[in-house]
Structure 1
Amino acid sequence: MKNEHSVAAIVYNKDEYLLLKYEMGHWGLVKGNVENDENEKQTIIRELEEETGINDAQIIEGFRENYEYYYKFKGNLIHKTVNCLLIESNEKDVKLSYEHTDYEWLPYDRALERLSHENTQQILARAKNFISNQGA
């Protein structure tokens, strides 16, 4: 079985969270595989710019969650570990990459409903709690 390591981000601007619609129809987070000698922070900043065009953002220290899942690709079972960081964006103008068909900035309750997978819903809830406790 092949293992993959990805990094995802809860991206927020004030009281709204950025969700991306993937070609397969599900709504999720900015996410991508770690490449070459990148660290997680380098990966997610690169992915944020590639997938959304956003480059005025900062990683919020102290938040790191992870989840795992399995999927099949070309008949092979793949175990994916995703580490999730928190990013505050200073801009909301999104330029989607070819990987996505839509995006939305949504308040927490609507973002929670819109996310397609329970694991990302749980991480969004933890991020909201972290932001509230930090006064960010």
Structure 2
Amino acid sequence: MYKVFVNDTPIILTSSQIKENNYPVYILKNSITEEIVHKLKNKKIKGVNLYTPDLEKGWQDFLKTFHIVSAAGGLVLNTKKDILFIYRSKKWDLPKGRIEIGESIEETAIREVEEECGIYDLKLIKPLLTTYHVYFQEGMKLKETYWFLMTSDYDEELVPQLEEGITKVLFKNKEEVVKALKNSYKNIELVYDSYLKM
């Protein structure tokens, strides 16, 4: 299945006929994606299942509705296995940013974490997952973010990238992470869950 969030409410693209939630089921080929997105944006529904018999073909058809913006970021562990968080727009988030022309997704992930957090000595361990969310800026866009597990033994002062609206950069222990996720985004929960499953 694929999960795409609109303001933290999910569009779940699935080829399964087993319903695992209380959301309405729409048939992808009979649906207008923009209408579904606007229903979710305006909180008319709390989520939706989009059924397609061929998940990969359905996903490609779904993507054609959007202008796609690609980004990359990291879940960064320090030597104590604390996780690096940024604070922006009154929410806790993980560092990430747009892929620039000529950059690989790995290069973007490292550059963005360095720029947003003032951290160095990053080691890219492995890919975690890709998350998706819809946002509105000169039309309807879909941001796909490639997440990587990283480590760093950098122990100097961390510097938030203020011009990007980041006001705090902190490593958080397990208890602090659980608390931070209550004031974060659903996609960040997915990234953390994928890390826990490793």
TM-score (norm 1): 0.85
Deviations 1:54-78 (A, max 9, x none): 11110003x330110101114x111
Which is further off, 78-87 or 119-128? 119-128
Structure 2, gaps ≥5 residues long: 1-65
Following the alignment from structure 1 to structure 2, what is the Cα–Cα distance between the partners of residues 110 and 122?
17
2:160 alignment partner, SS class: coil
Counterpart pick for 2:94 among 29, 41, 52: 29
Partner of 2:137: 73
Partner of 1:133: none
Say if 2:159 and 2:169, in contact at 8 Å, map to a contact too.
no
Q: Relative to 1, partners in 2 of residues 1:118 and 1:66: Cα closer, same or farther, differing over 3 Å?
A: same
Which is further off, 101-110 or 3-12? 101-110
CA RMSD of aligned residues (A): 1.4
Partner of 2:167: 101
Query: CA shift at 1:44, angstroms?
Result: 1.1
Structure 1, gaps ≥5 residues long: 131-136
1:120 alignment partner, SS class: helix
Say if 1:59 and 1:87, in contact at 8 Å, map to a contact too.
yes
Partner of 1:125: 193
Q: Relative to 1, partners in 2 of residues 1:19 and 1:95: Cα closer, same or farther, differing over 3 Å?
A: same
Following the alignment from structure 1 to structure 2, what is the Cα–Cα distance between the partners of residues 112 and 38?
33
Following the alignment from structure 2 to structure 1, what is the Cα–Cα distance between the partners of residues 149 and 189?
14
Q: Tell me the amino acid that sits aligned with residue 106 of structure 1.
A: K
Q: Tell me the amino acid that sits aligned with residue 148 of structure 2.
A: L
Partner of 2:154: 91
Following the alignment from structure 2 to structure 1, what is the Cα–Cα distance between the partners of residues 194 and 176?
15
Q: Tell me the amino acid that sits aligned with residue 87 of structure 1.
A: M
Query: CA shift at 1:53, angstroms?
Result: 1.5
Following the alignment from structure 2 to structure 1, what is the Cα–Cα distance between the partners of residues 178 and 71?
21
Count of aligned pairs? 127
Query: Which has the larger Rg?
Result: 2
Following the alignment from structure 1 to structure 2, what is the Cα–Cα distance between the partners of residues 110 and 83?
24
Query: CA shift at 1:125, angstroms?
Result: 2.2
Which contiguous aligned blocks of 4+ residues in structure 1 show a shift greater than 3 angstroms?
A: none
Q: Relative to 1, partners in 2 of residues 1:88 and 1:56: Cα closer, same or farther, differing over 3 Å?
A: same
Kindly indicate which of the two structures has a greater share of residues assigned to strand.
Answer: 1
Q: Tell me the amino acid that sits aligned with residue 117 of structure 1.
A: Y
Say if 2:73 and 2:113, in contact at 8 Å, map to a contact too.
no
Query: CA shift at 1:112, angstroms?
Result: 3.1
Following the alignment from structure 2 to structure 1, what is the Cα–Cα distance between the partners of residues 169 and 118?
12
Counterpart pick for 2:121 among 46, 51, 56: 56
2:75 alignment partner, SS class: strand
Partner of 2:62: none
TM-score (norm 2): 0.60
Say if 1:112 and 1:124, in contact at 8 Å, map to a contact too.
no
